[in-house]
Amino acid sequence: MLSGKALDDKLRRWHFRLAAGYAAIGVAYIFTSGRLVEMLVPEPEQIANFEIIKGTGYVLVTASLLYWVLSVIRKQVVDIYEARNRVWKERQQLMRDLERRVQERTGDLEFVIQELESFSYSVSHDLRKPLRAMDARRSELSQRPLDENSRRLTEELGDQIRQMSEMIEDLLALSRVGKEHLKRDEVDVTALCRRTLAELQRREPERMVSCDVEPGLRLYGDESMVNLALMNILHNAWKYTMGAESAEIRVRAEGDAILIEDNGIGFDADQANEIFKPFARLASAEHFPGTGIGLAIVERILRRHGATVHAEPRSEGGARFVLRFPPQPGTEVATGSV
C-alpha cells in the first residue's frame, strides 16, 4: 500500500502528464488553424472538410488521453480501497483475537481469585480453630506447677501462637484490600492520624513520644482503607522509635504529598523497595515484633487508589514515608492538603 506522500507524488506526475498532453494538443491546434490551413489547402470547399477532420481528430485524441489518465487514477483508487479493506479486515481479526485472549485471561484471573478466596476462608476458619485449641492447652499448662524451663517454653509457645494469629489477621486484611469496593470521599487525614497516635499512647502510657500532626491535612479516597494504611505506617513508626532517646513522629504536607516521619532505627537506602513486599523483614528490624505484611497492605491500598508511596531514610536518622494521592476530580489541590 502506497504511503500518503508516495500517492501524492504519483498523482502529481499524472496530472502533469495530462496538462502537458492538453498543452501539446492546444499548440498543435493553433498551428493547424487559420492561415496555415489556407496555405496547405488552397481550395475553399476542401478547407471545410479539413476543419471537420481536424476537429474530429482533436476530440478523439483528447478523449483517449483523458480516458487513459482517468483509468490510471481509477486503478490507483481501487488499489487504495482494496488495501484499506484488507487492513480493516486484519484489524477486525486482531480485535477478535484480542477479545478472545482477554476473555481467556479474565477466566484465568477469576479462577485464581476464587482460589484465593478459598484460601482466605481456609486461613480464617481452619487455621484459627487449631490455634485456639493450642492456646487453650497452653493456658492449662501455665496454670499447673512447672519448673522454670517448662514455664519458659510455655511462654514462648504463647508468643508464637499470638504471632501466628497476627499473621493470619494480616493475611486476611491483605486479601480483603483487593476485593472491597472503594467509597471515595474527602478524608480528614489529620483526625485519623491523631486518633491512631492517641490510641498508641493510651496503650503504652509509659512511653514519651512527641507526636506532631499538621492540621488541615485532607485527601480524596476510601476512608476505611486510608485509615488502615495510615495505621500501619504509624504503628511502624511507634514501634521502631522504641529505642530512641527523644522519640518523634511527625505528619505533615509537602506540596502534593503527605509525609510521615520518625527518628527510629531507619533502614538502608538500598532496602527502600523491599520493605513493601509481603513478609519482608529488614535486618535492622529483626529484634522487633511484627509479621512483615503491614507495609504490603499500605502499598496495595495506595495502588488501588491510583496513589503512590515510597520510603526513604532520613539523613538525621529514622524513616520518611511519602504518600501521593490523586486530587478529587474537578478540584484543584489546595495548599496544605493532598
CATH number at residue 211: 3.30.565.10
Give bridge partners of residue 257 from the DSSP assignment: 254
Whether residue 331 is contained in a domain is answered as: no
For the entire predicted model, the pTM comes to 0.56
Q: What is the largest CA-CA distance in the chain?
A: 151
Number of folded domains that form the chain:
3
Residue 101 burial (CB count, 10 A): 10
Q: Are residue 316 and residue 239 in the same domain, yes or no? A: yes
Q: Determine, yes or no, domain membership for 127.
A: yes
Contact 190, 312 (CB under 8 A): no
Who's near 182: CB < 8 A, 6+ residues apart?
A: 221, 222, 225, 304, 305
335 in a structural domain: no
* 271, part of any domain: yes
Question: Above 70 in pLDDT, residue 290?
Answer: no
The residue range of the domain holding 128 is 120-177
Q: Do both 312 and 216 map to the same domain?
A: yes
Contact at 8 Å (CB) between 216 and 226?
no
Give percent above pLDDT 90 in the chain.
15
**45 assigned to some structural domain:** yes
Checking if the pLDDT of 223 tops 80, the result is: yes
Q: Model confidence over 4-42: pLDDT tens digits?
A: 566 667 667 766 777 777 677 666 666 666 555 666 666
Give the residue-averaged pLDDT of 92-118: 81
**Domain contains 154:** yes
- Indicate whether 329 belongs to any domain: no
Q: How confident is the model at residue 252 (pLDDT cuts 50, 70, 90)?
A: very high
- pLDDT digits over 274-283, tens only? 788 776 665 4
How far apart are alpha carbons 5 and 11 in whole angstroms? Answer: 10
Say yes or no: 62 and 80 in one domain: yes
319 and 224 in one domain?
yes
- Residue 190 falls inside a structural domain: yes
Whether residue 195 is found in the same domain as residue 292: yes
223-240 and 148-177 are packed helices; what angle lies between their axes, rounded to 10 degrees?
Answer: 150
Q: Do 163 and 278 lie in a common domain?
A: no
**Residues 296 and 204 grouped into a single domain:** yes
